[in-house]
Structure 1
Amino acid sequence: MGVDVSGALVVQQRNLALDEPHGQIRAFAPSVVPAPLQTATYARTVLTASGLLRPEHVEEVVAIRTRRQRLLIDAEHPRTYVVTETALRRPIGGVETMTEQHLLLLALAELPHVTLRVLPEKQDPPVIWSCGFTITDNATTVETIPFPLALPITDTRHYLAHFQDLFHTAHPYRL
């Protein structure tokens, strides 16, 4: 029997939501759509499949992510997301879930303060990055796959440089 991290994951999601309205945010997600951009169905599927949340916590985290999305829509500060083509092609939850997810991404990408870029599957040299990360004005967090435990990073220079490289390699989001 492993360590129960379910409660810690709920707290982590709440803490990320508290940071969401403040300042610029830059995030990279290698394997799934970034949490604030996920539909409720997509988020529920990812969170359940992770096996890290107890069933009673899944809906709580989905609700937190939905609130984070509303903050994103109402935000005045720039938000920049880089997601991999692989994450967009992975059939999480099936065709209906992915169609809903892509439609939401298209709508969010139209917001004037949101930039959404896609890192192509085939690039030279290939980028292999097992963890996502989020850079805010105050901190950088590295998120383990398939999201959970965010680790605060104090020296963010490497992550800023890496994010810039990813951003310049990525293309604007479109279907």
Structure 2
Amino acid sequence: MTSSSSVRQAREALGNRLREIRKDAGLTARELASRAGWHESKCSRIEHGRTSPADDDLRTWAHLCGAEGQAADLIATARNIEGAYVEWRRMERSGLKHAQESVLPLWERTRNFRAYSSWLIPGPFQTRAYIEALLRAIRDRRTVPDDVAAAVQVRVNKQRILHEGRHQFAVVLEESTLRHRIGGAETMSGQLGHLLSLATLPNVSLGVIPMEADRSALWPVEDFWIFDDAQVNVELVSAFLTITQPNEVRAYDETFARMIELAVYGPHAHALITRAIDSLE
């Protein structure tokens, strides 16, 4: 996967906007390319969303079309599009600490968090030992600078939002998440016990989808977070995906609602967690 449909649609929308600016200026694509000193196919590639325009391309486009006042907005739009799909190697090139810090503004302004996970305990619910084991594995697998201790502390500090402000958390886990051992039996036992205590918080709703649930209509999907109703973040093998297209956000919203219907809560969820703890022995 090299791009999401939301990134592709956003590029096409920017291309349509640039086409309108060109046509309003009375220029053909060939004329604009000639005046800019570009290959004649460049305008077409940009307008169809096949090529991402550089900042200088957009400044030149706006200047030649007599739309200098739109240049700054066009550049901001293009940068936002490119920021929607970020490879891990790019995000983590200066270390894991920076990657952890980059999401802090989003977490602080969000009021309603919804998360689905089929592989890992979600970040705010992780113990320090679980975080350390997880980030060490990421460091080794992706060969990033070793700042694990600092990155762990950032993630631990971020967990204050569980207890401060008016943040609400609705989390749905596959039962298999409780069985995937991160850091060994002792770390997992502590993690699952911590999960039981967090489930009692008034601002936390924790559901677990039992392994014996009928998945004929909806099977496990990629892990994702929904921030209010404005943004979805998805962690892929190679990249970090940010989704803001309203129709795609709605798709994740609908999927989460259906996951809730499959999950069990309260004593039933606690029993599944306790069973997972007992299996560690």
CA contact (8 A) 1:8 1:149 kept: no
Give the letter aligned to residue 180 of structure 2: R
**Partner residue in 1 for 2:259:** 166
CA contact (8 A) 1:140 1:152 kept: yes
Change (3 A) 1:97 1:162: same
In 2: Cα distance, 1:42 partner to 1:117 partner: 20
What SS is found at the alignment partner of 2:103?
Answer: helix
**Partner residue in 2 for 1:134:** 225
Change (3 A) 1:89 1:114: same
1:90 equivalent to 2:180? Answer yes
**Could you state the TM-score of these two structures normalised by the residue count of structure 2?**
0.55
**Partner residue in 1 for 2:101:** 14
RMSD: 2.3
1:106 equivalent to 2:196? Answer yes
Report 1 or 2 for greater relative contact order, CA contacts < 8 Å, sequence distance ≥ 6: 1
Change (3 A) 1:10 1:149: farther
1:35 equivalent to 2:123? Answer yes
CA contact (8 A) 1:17 1:64 kept: no
User: Normalized per residue, which structure has more helix?
Assistant: 2
Of stretches 71-80 and 25-34 in structure 1, the one that deviates more from structure 2 is 71-80
What SS is found at the alignment partner of 2:182?
Answer: coil
User: Normalized per residue, which structure has more strand?
Assistant: 1
In 2: Cα distance, 1:167 partner to 1:74 partner: 25
1:52 equivalent to 2:137? Answer no
C-alpha displacement at 1:67, in angstroms?
Answer: 1.3
Gaps of 5+ in 2: 1-87, 275-281
- In our comparison, the structure showing a higher alpha carbon Rg is 2
Give the count of matched residue pairs. Answer: 171
In 2: Cα distance, 1:53 partner to 1:78 partner: 35
Of stretches 9-18 and 40-49 in structure 1, the one that deviates more from structure 2 is 9-18
Gaps of 5+ in 1: none
Change (3 A) 1:17 1:107: farther
- Deviation above 4 Å: which 4+ runs of structure 1? 2-5
Which of 95, 118, 125 aligns to 2:215? It is 125
**Partner residue in 1 for 2:12:** none
What SS is found at the alignment partner of 1:20?
Answer: helix
1:143 equivalent to 2:217? Answer no
**Could you state the TM-score of these two structures normalised by the residue count of structure 1?**
0.85
Q: Deviations over 1:70-114 (max 9, x none)?
A: 222224221111111111112221221011101211111111001
In 2: Cα distance, 1:100 partner to 1:53 partner: 28
In 2: Cα distance, 1:36 partner to 1:53 partner: 25
Change (3 A) 1:152 1:171: same
Q: Deviations over 1:134-168 (max 9, x none)?
A: 111231111225xx843110130100001111112
